[in-house]
Amino acid sequence: MQTLLINGKWVAPVAGEAIDVINPCNAEVYDTIGRGRAEDIDLAVAAAQGALDGAWGKLTAAERGRIMLKFGQKILDNAEELAQIEALDTGKPITVARNDIVAVARYFEYYGGAADKVHGQTIPYMNGYNVSVVRVPHGVTAHIIPWNYPAQMFGRTIAPAIAMGNACVLKPSEDACMSVIRLVQLGQEAGLPAGALNLVTGYGHEAGAALTAHTGINFATFTGSPEVGVMVQEATARNHVPCVLELGGKSPQIVFDDVDMDKAVPVIVKAITQNAGQTCSAGSRLLVQEGIYEEFVGRVAAAFAKVKVGTPEMDFDCGPIVNRKQFVRVSGFIAEAVASGVPVLAQGQLAEGVSADGYFVAPTLFGAVPRDHKLACKEVFGPVLSAMSFTDEEDAVRLANATEYGLVSGIWTENGSRQSRMAQRMISGQVFINCYGAGGGVELPFGGMKKSGHGREKGFVALEEMSTTKTVVQYFG
Ligand code: NAD
C-alpha cells in the first residue's frame, strides 16, 4: 500500500485505501497498490514545487545528466527483476518485457546524455543590446501514463522532463504500474533528490483528474484514450497549462503491387500482434492494391494462423489483454464484426494450458472490410487486423487518411518516387517505408496529427516540449 512516493518518502494514501492488482493471465489478485486521491496529489505537487525551490532546482544540467545516466545503468543492472514484474503485471511475453526494460534504460541514457547539450540562442538586435533566448523548465510537470507499456511510458515521459530540470508528479495506470513503482525506487537510489520525482498511484477519475486540474502544475503529458484526452485538455486549459496528448491511432499498412512480400508479411503481422495489439501505433489496417490483394492477404492469413498466444513464461508471440474491461471491449469488436458478416480470414491460436479465466483473445484477421465499417475506422486496441483493397495511388492516399486518427503510416513499395510521394501525403506523425517500427526508438520524434493528439515525445523535440523559452534583453549602450 505504500506505493506513493512524496517528497522522497514512500507512503500510503492519506485515506488509507487500496486497489487490487490483478494477473491478466488468470484474473487472480496478487497484490495491492495505494488508491491516491486529491489530497495525495496536493502533497505531491507541493513536494515537486519544494524540490524546484530547493536542491533539485540548484543542480546543473550536467549534474542532472549524471544522475540520469546512473539511473539508466541501475535499470540495466536490475533488468531481469523489472522484466519479471512487467510480464506478471501486463501478461506480455517475457522476451517482450525484457526488450521493454532495455528501452526504458535507453530513455535515461539518451536524455541523460542530452541534458547539458540543449543550447539557447543569441539574437542580433539593435545596437547596444545583448539578447539571449534561454531554455528553462516548465516547473512542476504532470504525467499520466497508460497500462500497455508501463515501464517504457515511464521512460518516455519522465526522462526528458527530468533532463530539462522539471519536477514531476506521475500518475501511472491503475491497471498496470508495478514496474513503475520499482523504477521510481531505482531513481531514488540513483540520486534523484526528494521531490524531483513524485509518484501517486490511483484511479484516473480520482488522482488523475485531481492532478490535471491542479493549479500548482505548469505542464501536463497524457497518453491514453481520446475521451480522457479531451478531459485532460479541458482541465489543463482552465489553468492555461499546456499539454501534450498521445491518443492512439488506426494506422495503415499500405501495400503496393511491387511489394517484396517475403519482407513485408512478417513485419505486418508483428505490427498488430505485438503486445496483443495494445499499441497506440499498431498497424491495424492492411490496405492492399487490388491486383495482389488475394495473394498478399492469403500470405498474411497463413502467418496469422501461426501466431500463438500464451502466458509470459510460454513466451509466444503475444499474451492476454491487460484487463477485463479491455477484454470485453476487444471481444465485442470481433463478435460484432462477425455478426455483421465481415469474413474472418485467419485466427491465431491460444496455447494449451492457458487459464479460461485469463483475458486471452485469438488474434483475428478480417478480410474485405467495408470502408465505412466500425472495424475500418475505430481503434480496437487489440490483435485485430482489418484488410481492404485499393485501386491506385490516389485511392490509397484517400483510404489511408480516411480515419480521424493520424499517428503512423506504413508504406510498402519498391518504387522510390512513389515512396516519396506517399510519405509526403500521409497525414501522420511518423511514416515508415518498407519497415514498421510501432513507435520506433527513443531517437525518433513521435506523436499524432488529428485525433491522435498533439505535441511530440521522443527525440530532441521532447526536450523542447518539456521546457519553454525566456528571452533576456540587456541594454549596455
Ligand atoms: P484511459 O484513457 O482511461 O487511461 C489512461 C490513463 O489515464 C490511466 O492512467 C488512467 O488512470 C488515466 N485517467 C483516466 N481517467 C482520467 C481522468 N478523468 N483524468 C486524468 N486521468 C485519467 O484508457 P483505458 O481505459 O485504460 O483504455 C481505453 C482505451 O484507451 C483503449 O481501448 C485504447 O483505445 C486507448 N488507449 C490508448 C493508449 C495509447 O497508447 N494511446 C494507451 C492505453 C489505452
**How is 183-252 classified by DSSP, letter by letter?**
HHHHHHHHTPPTTSEEE----IIIIIHHHHT-TT-SEEEEES-HHHHHHHHHHHHHTT--EEEE----EE
Atom index in ligand 1 nearest the CA of residue 329 equals 32
Q: Which residue has the cell 482552465?
A: 238
Atom index in ligand 1 nearest the CA of residue 211 equals 20
The protein residue whose alpha carbon is closest to atom 16 in ligand 1 is 204
What is the C-alpha to C-alpha distance for residues 115 and 454, in angstroms, rounded to an integer?
A: 24
How far does the centroid of ligand 1 lie from the alpha carbon of residue 415, in Å? 39
Q: Catalogue the active-site residues.
A: 246, 280
Write out the residue range of the structural domain in which residue 155 sits. Answer: 4-247+454-475
Q: Residue 372 class from Cβ within 10 Å (0-12 exposed, 13-18 middle, 19+ buried)? A: exposed
Residues 342, 407, single domain; the answer is: yes
Atom index in ligand 1 nearest the CA of residue 322 equals 26
How far does the centroid of ligand 1 lie from the alpha carbon of residue 69, in Å? 30
Single-letter amino acid code for the residue at 115: A
pLDDT at position 438: 61
Residues 182, 303, single domain; the answer is: no
pLDDT at position 1: 79
The protein residue whose alpha carbon is closest to atom 4 in ligand 1 is 224
- The verdict on residue 449 lying in a domain is no
Residues 258, 235, single domain; the answer is: no
Residues 229, 295, single domain; the answer is: no
How far does the centroid of ligand 1 lie from the alpha carbon of residue 464, in Å? 25
Residues 267, 202, single domain; the answer is: no
The grid cell for 387 is 484488410
Residues 64, 193, single domain; the answer is: yes
User: Taking the alpha carbons of 360, 363, 368, 374 in that order, is the dihedral positive or negative?
Assistant: positive
Which one of 225, 403, 458 would you pick to mutate in the ligand 1 pocket, going by the greatest count of ligand atoms within 8 A of its CB?
Answer: 225
The protein residue whose alpha carbon is closest to atom 14 in ligand 1 is 204
- The verdict on residue 240 lying in a domain is yes
The protein residue whose alpha carbon is closest to atom 41 in ligand 1 is 248
Q: Give the H or E element holding residue 375.
A: helix 374-377
Residues 232, 269, single domain; the answer is: no
What is the C-alpha to C-alpha distance for residues 155 and 221, in angstroms, rounded to an integer?
A: 13
Residues 26, 48, single domain; the answer is: yes
How far does the centroid of ligand 1 lie from the alpha carbon of residue 444, in Å? 23
Atom index in ligand 1 nearest the CA of residue 246 equals 41
How far does the centroid of ligand 1 lie from the alpha carbon of residue 321, in Å? 14
The protein residue whose alpha carbon is closest to atom 9 in ligand 1 is 173
- What lies within 8 Å, CB to CB, of 251 at 6+ separation is 281, 282, 283, 284, 285, 405, 407, 408, 409, 410, 428
Contact predicate 222/245, CB 8 Å:
yes
How far does the centroid of ligand 1 lie from the alpha carbon of residue 351, in Å? 29
Residues 278, 412, single domain; the answer is: yes
- The verdict on residue 78 lying in a domain is yes
CA-to-CA separations, 453 to 107, 406, 429, in angstroms, rounded: 21, 8, 10
- The verdict on residue 399 lying in a domain is yes
Residues 350, 202, single domain; the answer is: no
CA-to-CA separations, 19 to 2, 35, 37, 203, 335, in angstroms, rounded: 12, 6, 12, 9, 31
- The verdict on residue 23 lying in a domain is yes
Residues 205, 315, single domain; the answer is: no
Residues with CB under 6 A from ligand 1: 144-148, 171, 173-175, 203-205, 208-209, 212, 223-225, 228, 231-232, 246-248, 280, 326, 329, 379, 381
List of E strands, 104-148: 121-122, 129-137, 140-144
Residues 396, 273, single domain; the answer is: yes
Closest listed residue to residue 452, CA positions, set 214, 218, 279, 206: 279
Provide the residue-wise pLDDT of the chain in tens; the chain has 477 residues. 799 999 999 999 999 999 999 999 999 999 999 999 999 999 999 999 999 999 999 999 999 999 999 999 999 999 999 999 999 999 999 999 999 999 999 999 999 999 999 999 999 999 999 999 999 999 999 999 999 999 999 999 999 999 999 999 999 999 999 999 999 999 999 999 999 999 999 999 999 999 999 999 999 999 999 999 999 999 999 999 999 999 999 999 999 999 999 999 999 999 999 999 999 999 999 999 999 999 999 999 999 999 999 999 999 999 999 999 999 999 999 999 999 999 999 999 999 999 999 999 999 999 999 999 999 999 999 999 999 999 999 999 999 999 999 999 999 999 999 999 999 999 999 999 999 986 569 999 999 999 999 999 999 999 999 999 999 999 999
Q: Count of domains in the chain?
A: 2
- The verdict on residue 182 lying in a domain is yes
Which one of 3, 35, 144 would you pick to mutate in the ligand 1 pocket, going by the greatest count of ligand atoms within 8 A of its CB?
Answer: 144
CATH number of the domain that 87 lies in?
A: 3.40.605.10
What is the C-alpha to C-alpha distance for residues 123 and 140, in angstroms, rounded to an integer?
A: 29
- The verdict on residue 447 lying in a domain is no
- The verdict on residue 446 lying in a domain is no
Atom index in ligand 1 nearest the CA of residue 147 equals 43
What is the C-alpha to C-alpha distance for residues 363 and 341, in angstroms, rounded to an integer?
A: 18
CATH number of the domain that 377 lies in?
A: 3.40.309.10
Q: How many Cα neighbours within 13 Å face the side chain of 402?
A: 22
Q: How many Cα neighbours within 13 Å face the side chain of 63?
A: 10
